[in-house]
């Protein structure tokens, strides 16, 4: 089939073929501009001043001396900043009022924004910000997170707080084998390479914000509501983004920049420092999780309980829904889950790659490994025996459930069959060696989006969609999807993203970006092709079609929709130094149709790398005395570096989503899920000692190592 515009034979095979990033050349040559690099005439620079106490009130700000400093234009604070509406419901629920800066004198946590100093240059702004004297009435703070808090309460977030089926105690009592263990994960941070940055300006009566975010529609909508503006009079652009992982939504710096641009009637840029990111851009809450499993001797679960406690701030409720993973993965006659919260004088946590599933899978998949050991059953066989037929809590059918196919392929490639299940047996010089495995899952969804596709008079096609490419390769994936939908080669498709003027679209989040956008692009392209087959010829301005997938997505049947995966790790542990090295990892995923194998593999490997980091390195430590972090920087907060990361292989099994026009599920988050558990399980296999607290630091391995040596000697 040919179209009137191509005059060439048709193509329909771009999806599924490796394609380098369409913006790759711009990125490596520096032509791609990030939010803090875009030049403006008359640009002024804002620097945030953040609180040095964890709880209390601002008594005074001594602005007069600062306003006399060279280059200083203004100081915004709670006495002079514009009032905003922070009591609205936005695209993702009620926003974190941390973004509604300078509205009151209350300080709810260390690092809370108390002022913005604006000057002609960033250096002048920073110097003046550091010179600003702020006096506080300090109140006692409470930042102590532990599983023992009597003030913890069940909290909903985006899923029910508690699910309960069956009589847990009687099923546990009737079980041949029981695992009852507490697992903890620490506070973790997103650490994107590009710090948050925004420039705001008024341009012909419209507010324009150049930003680094995960969704221009999202930030546009939030700013419009907050400043009581018509959404059409707000334009947010975010063309290139150096990582987000959940942290790049509406934050204090965009709001402060808009306030300053309004006050000064000049473009104002606010860039966060790495240190400020630790208190202003969200993070993953620490968790304390208790898992109780009861099984028959053959490993079949009679009882499953997964309770998770996380923290939130005093200004906003955010739940890290770690117990949610148990509602998907395993069924039991008695099945109880609960997500609970405690409110502390800390910044509000937020979504961070695989929110819930990342820490939840550490606990659950480590507990499964303990159960496998106690039952004397291979960990993969144990999971096979407990594969649920339907959603354990929802009772809904799964759209596809290819977890076991992942384990089969993974076991074959990893050499699992040769593994001696007994721990502490393999030694290589000073290293004890072990292997471990764990399951992964993450929700596969789609959200309504709009897309605009234009057939240009020169035979090319332009796709416009308010998508975000946060480093994932989304722009390239959409180019391939559009090419197939238009039946042309990718070089004839130009995809433009990151502009709220293109119409509402899903954010890059929840592993739903590419699927949601691809659906809208496919729908617009299909209609455009119909228009083109009418053969009317293309006028100079082109022919443009707009799609909206709201109705199609609203009509989707209720099902359990998930990506799955099987994680494998081999570690070497030196119990005399406490050092753990990951030697190799393999992840096999069932994550829908893979659009671009090149960038998809990179996504999976990136998630698995973060799993290494989560298992062994990452930990933000809060000082109880000050209420702030120790070492809020990338020297003190260690993320896996190149030398920590071994050969990692990621691949997938065939798993097209039956209800998606392209077969996509979404791959952004499943790569981290289960990865830390596979490593912890491998550390047990190497040493015979269970590590239930992340990260598995040398000081945690040392005493455990000594105990293990002692046990073996005895």
Residues that bind ligand MOS (CB under 6 A): 214, 244-246, 351-353, 355, 509-510
332 DSSP assignment: -
Shortest reach from residue 565's CB to ligand MOS, in Å: 17
Residue 91: which of 214, 197, 196, 191 has the closest Cα? 214
Q: Write down the least CB distance from residue 190 to ligand MOS, Å.
A: 8
Whichever of 359 and 510 has its CB closer to ligand MOS, that residue is 510
- Say whether 669 is catalytic: yes
Secondary structure of 27-89 in the HEC alphabet? Answer: HHHCCCCCHHHCCCCCCEEEEEEECCCCCEEEEEEEHHHHHCCCCEEEEECCCCCCCCCCCCC
Shortest distance, position 320 Cβ to ligand MOS, whole Å: 11
The answer to whether 361 and 677 have CB atoms below 8 angstroms apart is: yes
Minimum CB separation of residue 530 from ligand MOS in Å reads 34
Q: Of these residues, 365, 579, 669, 711, which one is catalytic?
A: 669
Q: Which residues contact 632 (CB under 8 A, 6 or more apart)?
A: 274, 275, 278, 279, 620
Which tokens sit at 285?
């809450």
> Closest approach of Cβ 117 to ligand MOS, in Å?
31
H/E stretch holding 170 reads helix 168-173
Rounded to whole angstroms, the Cα distance separating 10 from 3 reads 8
Contacts of 100 (CB under 8 A, 6+ apart): 84, 86, 226, 255
Residue ranges in 316-433 assigned as alpha helix (H): 326-329, 357-375, 379-385, 403-414
Paired sense of beta strands 113-119 and 44-50, if any: antiparallel
Query: Of 118 and 352, which has the nearer Cβ to ligand MOS?
Result: 352
CB of 253 to ligand MOS, least distance (A): 18
Q: What are the b/e assignments for 322-336, b being 16+ CB within 10 Å?
A: bbbbbbbbbbbbbbb
Instruction: Enumerate residues 6+ apart whose C-beta is below 8 A from 7.
Output: 459
Specify the residue, 124 or 613, whose C-beta has the smaller distance to ligand MOS: 613
- Residue 213 or residue 288: which is nearer to ligand MOS going by CB? 213
Q: 417-429 burial by CB neighbour count: b if 16+ within 10 A, else e?
A: eebeeebbebeee
Between 245 and 564, name the residue whose CB sits nearer to ligand MOS. 245
**Residues in the chain, overall count:** 714
Give the residue with the Cβ less far from ligand MOS, 113 or 510: 510
Q: Please report how close the Cβ of residue 172 comes to ligand MOS at its closest, in angstroms.
A: 34
Q: How far is the CB of 458 from ligand MOS (least distance, A)?
A: 37
User: Which is nearer to ligand MOS, 299 or 666 (by Cβ)?
Assistant: 666
Q: 299 or 356, CB closer to ligand MOS?
A: 356
Nearest-approach distance from CB 506 to ligand MOS, in angstroms: 11
Burial of 26 from C-beta contacts in 10 A (0-12 / 13-18 / 19+): middle
CA distance 519 to 657: 12
Distance, in Å, from the CA atom of 92 to the CA atom of 215, rounded to the nearest integer, reads: 11
CB 647 within 8 A of CB 584: yes
DSSP per-residue codes, 275-297: HHHHHHS--BPPEEEEEEEEE-T
From the CB of 248, what's the least distance to ligand MOS, in Å? Answer: 8
Q: For residues 613 and 635, what is the distance between their CA atoms, to the nearest angstrom?
A: 14
Q: Report which of 347, 331, 265, 342 is spatially closest to residue 560, judged by C-alpha positions.
A: 331
Residues 562 and 328: their CA atoms lie apart, in Å, by 9
394 vs 372: CA distance, rounded Å? 26
Q: Which is nearer to ligand MOS, 351 or 652 (CB)?
A: 351
- Closer to ligand MOS by CB, 450 or 511: give it: 511
Residue nearest to ligand MOS (CB): 246
133-138 sheet: strands from edge to edge: 106-107, 56-62, 133-138
Indicate which residues carry an active-site annotation: 669
């Amino acid at each position: 089939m040919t179209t009137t515009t191509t005059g060439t034979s048709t193509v329909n095979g771009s999806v599924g073929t490796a394609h380098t990033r369409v913006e790759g050349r711009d990125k490596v040559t520096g032509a791609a501009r990030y939010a803090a690099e875009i030049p403006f005439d008359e640009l002024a620079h804002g620097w945030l001043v953040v609180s040095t106490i964890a709880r209390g009130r601002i008594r005074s700000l001594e602005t007069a001396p600062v306003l006399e400093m060279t280059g200083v234009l203004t100081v915004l604070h709670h006495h002079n900043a514009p009032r905003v509406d922070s009591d609205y419901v936005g695209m993702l629920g009620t926003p974190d009022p941390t973004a509604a800066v300078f509205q009151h004198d209350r300080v709810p946590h260390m690092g809370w924004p108390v002022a913005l100093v604006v000057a002609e240059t960033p250096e002048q702004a920073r110097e003046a910000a550091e010179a600003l004297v702020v006096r506080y009435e300090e109140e006692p703070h409470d930042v102590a997170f532990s599983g023992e808090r009597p003030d913890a309460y069940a909290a909903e977030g985006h899923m029910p707080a508690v699910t309960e089926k069956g009589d847990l105690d009687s099923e546990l009592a009737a079980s041949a084998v029981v695992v009852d263990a507490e697992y903890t994960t620490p506070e973790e941070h997103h650490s994107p390479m590009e710090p948050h940055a925004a420039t705001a300006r008024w341009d012909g009566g419209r507010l324009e914000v150049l930003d680094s975010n995960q969704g221009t529609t999202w930030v546009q909508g939030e700013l419009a509501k907050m400043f009581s503006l018509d959404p059409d009079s707000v334009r947010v652009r975010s063309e290139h983004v150096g990582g987000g992982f959940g942290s790049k939504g509406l934050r204090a710096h965009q709001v402060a920049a808009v306030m300053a641009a309004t006050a000064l009637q000049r473009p104002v840029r606010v860039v966060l420092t790495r240190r400020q990111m630790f208190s202003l851009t969200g993070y993953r809450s620490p968790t304390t999780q208790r898992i109780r499993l009861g099984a028959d001797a053959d490993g079949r679960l009679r009882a499953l309980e997964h309770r998770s406690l996380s923290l939130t701030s005093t200004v906003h409720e955010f739940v890290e829904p770690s117990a949610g993973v148990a509602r998907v993965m395993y069924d039991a006659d008695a099945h109880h889950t609960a997500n609970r919260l405690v409110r502390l004088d800390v910044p509000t946590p937020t979504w961070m790659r695989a929110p819930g599933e990342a820490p939840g899978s550490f606990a659950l998949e480590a507990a499964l490994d303990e159960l496998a050991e106690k039952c004397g059953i291979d960990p993969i066989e144990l999971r096979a025996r407990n594969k649920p037929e339907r959603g354990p809590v929802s009772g809904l059918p799964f759209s596809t459930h290819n977890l076991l196919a992942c384990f089969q392929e993974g076991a074959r490639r990893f050499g699992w069959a040769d593994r001696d299940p007994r721990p502490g047996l393999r030694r290589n010089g000073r290293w004890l060696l072990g292997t471990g495995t764990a399951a992964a899952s993450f929700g596969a969804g789609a959200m309504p989006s709009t897309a605009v596709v234009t057939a240009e008079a020169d035979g090319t096609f332009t796709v416009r969609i308010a998508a975000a490419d946060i480093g994932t390769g989304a722009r390239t994936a959409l180019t391939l999807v559009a090419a197939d939908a238009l039946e042309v080669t990718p070089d004839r498709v130009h995809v433009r993203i990151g502009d709220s003027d293109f119409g509402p679209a899903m954010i890059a989040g929840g592993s739903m970006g590419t699927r949601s956008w691809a659906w809208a692009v496919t729908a617009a392209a299909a209609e455009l092709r119909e228009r083109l087959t009418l053969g009317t010829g293309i006028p100079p301005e082109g022919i443009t079609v707009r799609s909206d997938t709201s109705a199609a997505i609203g009509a989707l049947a209720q099902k359990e929709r998930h990506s799955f995966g099987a994680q494998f790790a081999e570690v070497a542990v030196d119990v005399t130094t406490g050092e753990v090295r990951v030697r190799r990892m393999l992840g096999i995923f069932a994550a829908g149709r893979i659009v671009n194998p090149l960038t998809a593999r990179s996504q999976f490997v990136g998630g698995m790398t973060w799993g290494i980091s989560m298992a062994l390195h990452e930990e933000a430590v809060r000082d109880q005395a000050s209420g702030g972090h120790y070492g809020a920087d990338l020297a003190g907060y260690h993320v896996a570096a190149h030398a920590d990361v071994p050969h990692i292989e990621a691949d997938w099994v065939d798993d097209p989503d039956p209800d998606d026009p392209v077969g996509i599920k979404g791959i952004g988050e499943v790569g981290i899920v289960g990865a830390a558990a596979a490593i912890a399980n491998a550390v047990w296999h190497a040493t015979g000692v269970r590590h239930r607290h992340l990260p598995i630091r040398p000081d945690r391995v040392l005493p455990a190592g000594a105990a293990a040596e002692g046990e073996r000697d005895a």
